[in-house]
Structure 1
Amino acid sequence: MKRLLGFLPLPCLLLALWLILNDSLSAGHIALGLAIALILSLLTPILRPVRARLSHPLTALRLVGHVAVDIAHSNWLVGLRILRGDTANARPGFLDIPLRIRDPHGLAALAGIVTFTPGTVWAGHDPAHNILTLHVLDLHDPAGLTHTIQDRYERPLMEIFE
């Protein structure tokens, strides 16, 4: 029963998307959408051999809160910089940050967090040395940004995924 409940959300979502995109609730669209949803849902584990396990859900909620606040704050700062016409004083640059996290899901989450935050972009990752390369719009405090990435994002992600 638990396995069935874990399987159902994806085919239900795919069926709903199929019906919405086709703007039809006809029997034919429902049957075709159901077939496509079930086939795709059965094939997805092949594409994702490493399964994620979410531990520490409270840490995950706290991380979501931190990320939301940081994104809003960064939007505010970048918006002010643009509105003031203060783009000439920006010090863009690349920053290499050593990481401890190895889990691919945690790295993907970190990539999303960094890229969603205005002013920073995930520019690369060296898996051999586990070094993250960021491009930053205004790199005025490299040590502070390194500390923020490692302590505010990486540490909770390690707690959640590893």
Structure 2
Amino acid sequence: MNPNTSPPANPARKPGWLSHPLLSLLLGASWLALSHSLEPVHLLSALLIALIVPRLLHPFLGEHSSIHWGAAVRLTAVVFKDIVLANITVARLVLGPLPRMQPAWLPVPLACDHPRVNALFATIITTTPGTVSCVVDEQRHEILVHALTCDDAQAMIDDMKTRYEAPLLQIFRQQPRTAAPGAGTTAGRAA
């Protein structure tokens, strides 16, 4: 090594075989569930998938982050409950008279810049029937959401932020931005 050159300040760390143990566990268990078998060939396949796929995905997944598991379990329960209730509500709207629907576009301000928080927030909104997150605008720090029906835009925005975004901030141990850009411009627009 040349004495005039110094090693890189932060060399890229090679991922270990279990750099994402939860993902490895989920992949292996999913493979076994899909194969409906505990034959040795399926066990070996599950092991190889559980070890190789997370290692290949490591550059895209980033480093392991500290997660508040209690908050994650609570949020999961809230989301499952909301999905069931929203399915019932959407079924009533769709099967009932159409004039009852009041679709709206809602710009929902984001409380932080954490990519996982914002991606999961948008995903939860989309998986809850009756709402679809259409655009995550990182420049304006907002998610554009289409609601199938909305009587009070601000109340719906506040509900999404309270039920989903606040727990996500807690799960990933993030602090909300003190002054969210565009915080005063959350009025819904007619669809």
Q: Identify the TM-score tier after normalising by the shorter chain.
A: 0.7 to 0.9
> Which residue in the other structure is 2:125 paired with?
114
Contact 1:54 1:160 survives alignment (8 Å): yes
Q: Counterpart in 2 of 1:74?
A: 86
Query: For the structure 1 residues 36 and 128, does the alpha-carbon distance in structure 2 shift closer, same or farther, using more than 3 Å as the test?
Result: same
> Contact 1:95–1:133 (CA<8 Å) still a contact in 2?
yes
Q: CA RMSD in A?
A: 3.0
Q: 1:43 aligns with which of 44, 56, 69?
A: 56
Change (3 A) 1:21 1:104: same
Task: Find the counterpart in structure 1 of residue 72 from structure 2.
Answer: 60
- The 1:15–1:114 alpha-carbon spacing in structure 2 relative to 1, beyond 3 Å, is closer
Query: Equivalents in 1 of 2:81, 2:75: separation in Å?
Result: 10
Q: How many residues of Structure 1 are paired with residues of Structure 2 in the alignment?
A: 157
Higher mean C-alpha deviation, range 99-108 or range 8-17: 8-17
Q: Secondary structure at the match of 1:54?
A: coil
Contact 2:122 2:136 in 1 (8 A): no
Match of 2:164 in 1: 153
Deviation at 1:120, TM superposition (A): 0.0
Q: Indicate the residue corresponding to 1:25 in structure 2.
A: 39
Deviation per CA, 1:104-158: give whole Å up to 9, x if none: 1111221221111110001111102211100110122101111101222111111
Aligned to 1:136: 147
Question: Percent of aligned positions with the same letter in both sequences?
Answer: 29
Gaps of 5+ in 1: none
Contact 1:74 1:119 in 2 (8 A): yes
**2-side partners of 1:53 and 1:91: how far apart?**
41
Under a length normalisation based on structure 1, what TM-score does the superposition of the two structures give? 0.77
* Structure in which a larger fraction of residues adopt helix: 1
The whole-number CA distance in structure 2 between the counterparts of 1:87 and 1:120 is 17
Contact 1:52–1:105 (CA under 8 A) maintained in structure 2: no
Deviation at 1:26, TM superposition (A): 6.0
Give the 3 Å change call, closer, same or farther, for CA 130–5 of structure 1 in structure 2. same
Offset of 1:69 from its aligned partner?
2.3
- Structure index of larger Rg: 2
